A and B are shown apart, each in its own frame.
Chain A
Amino acid sequence: MTFVYPTDSNKAHPLPLSPDYKSSIKRAPNKPLIPMRHTLSELTGPVYGHETVREGDNDLTTQHSGEPIGERIIVHGHVRDEDGRGVPNSLIEIWQANSCGRYIHVRDQHPAPLDPNFTGAGRTVSDASGYYRFVTIKPGAYPWGNHHNAWRPAHIHLSVFGYSFVTRLVTQMYFPNDPLFPFDPIFNSVPDEKARARMVSSFDLENTKPEWALCYRFDIVLRGKNATPMENH
């Protein structure tokens, strides 16, 4: 199938400058982006599949000798294109704080404990229908220096490839009904309320494993529409 990538779809993204998010002030371009037609360079992209992922990389709770502290959860869903078709064999990388809101990173100074049994990184590849699944620990909220009493809502970072270099997506998955949403400038950098809602996972009781783990569903929609004239925009 041949895809087109309408630039209109990018309106869902935050604008580069979002002054409430202080770090964007000196790192957002001041000059307008230059529009251009997609060439073969933009329309192709790296294809990474199972060779990139080791067995167990999608279970962040079994990568060490003991079990991590915190609430075990399943995070699963589909990677889809804008027409709703599953995106198969797409690499998904995740990273996140532990249940106390602490990252394994030399620059994370939050005085919350590290967990020797949780290093917070995982990978998987979507299957033929676009489906993916991780087992992990629910991350904690954590403070940051953006403004007085700033706290990030709990989130899992995701990196997804898709069909072309212009479908590349790095985003954050949030949890339903987080009371920190109204106060988070990163979450609110997405201008449209419906678009913001697409970053929030839904509680999935049906796929919760009794006596073992709660489940959240997070579907990821990447750019890309069928290039046939009927569906082209």
Chain B
Amino acid sequence: MQQSVKSDGITPSQTVGPFFKYGLTPNGEYAWNDAFTNSTLTPDVSGDRIRIEGRVFDGDGVAVPDAMLEIWQADAQGRFSDPQDKRALPNASFRGFARCGTDKDGNYSFETIKPGAVPDPDGKPQAPHILLAVFGRGMLRHLYTRIYFSDEAGNAADPVLALVPADRRATLTAVREPGKPVYRLDLHLQGDDETVFFDV
């Protein structure tokens, strides 16, 4: 039995700051090796390969060049690479996690697969979605949002989207580019087009 030590609370969050790049997203620009890239793809992964791209903006509409984005998602069958998901996992090496730093113009992109539907706590299907965490200088704690897909009929019945005022749902919906496996979603940390963030 492990030693158990009671605490009076969790460790508070602090900003990732402006100088995380050489440690968390070196991406060939710094000598440290990357633990993660902006791709979840593995050789054996099944499903439709897609690219999700966009820009991150602050409350003045200025591009955020020093944000870090992380995604977490199910595979194309809607299964998570985590022992807490007790269902069978068909993509043995697929992890479903990726990390990307924004560039000087606030651009980010992820190479991944379109996730399958995942059940909600009542067992009803949620529309395909990806969890997104946004970190950055000026952000004392990361923010959580979700990426949905414009070409999914299931969005209309999704229980989480239903919590969001109808006129703000577009901030969660990546839009498919015609004829290409590419989806676009800009993030607005503040302002009229402010992205919906969830209290999870």
Which A residues fall within an 8 A CB radius of B? 2, 5, 7, 9-10, 12-16, 18, 21-48, 52, 54, 78, 80, 82-86, 91, 93-95, 97, 103-108, 119-123, 129-130, 155, 157, 159, 163-166, 168-172, 186-187, 189-190, 192, 194-196, 198-199, 219-223
Contact = CB atoms under 8 A, between A and B. Distances in A.
B141 A13 contact: yes
Interface of B: 2-24, 26, 29-33, 35, 58-60, 62, 64, 66, 70, 72-74, 80-85, 95-97, 118-121, 126, 129, 131, 133, 135-144, 146, 160, 163-164, 189-191, 194-200
18 contacts: A2-B84, A10-B199, A27-B138, A39-B120, A39-B121, A44-B72, A45-B72, A120-B22, A121-B22, A129-B2, A159-B16, A159-B24, A165-B144, A168-B70, A170-B15, A221-B11, A222-B10, A223-B10
A63 to B, nearest CB: 9
Given A40-B118, A103-B22, A195 B9 contact: yes
Q: DSSP class of A's interface residues: helix, strand, loop or mixed?
A: loop
Contacts of A29: 143, 189-190, 194-195, 197
Contacts of B59: 25-27, 30
A96 B118 CA distance: 38
A119 B7 contact: no
A105 B19 contact: yes
Contacts of A159: 16, 24
Contacts of B10: 9-10, 12, 82, 169, 198, 221-223
A198 B5 CA distance: 14
B199 to A, nearest CB: 4
A143 to B, nearest CB: 13
A47 B81 contact: yes
B22 A104 contact: yes
Contacts of A195: 9, 12
Contact of B200 (A36, A106, A122, A169): A36
Given A121-B32, A189-B140, 18 more contacts: A14-B12, A27-B59, A29-B189, A29-B190, A36-B160, A37-B121, A39-B120, A48-B95, A80-B5, A82-B9, A91-B35, A104-B30, A107-B18, A123-B35, A170-B135, A171-B12, A186-B15, A219-B11
B11 A199 contact: yes
Contacts of A2: 84
B144 A166 contact: yes
Contacts of A27: 58-59, 64, 136-139, 189-190
B133 A168 contact: yes
Contact of B19 (A41, A107, A169, A222): A107
A94 B4 contact: no
Contacts of A221: 7, 9-11
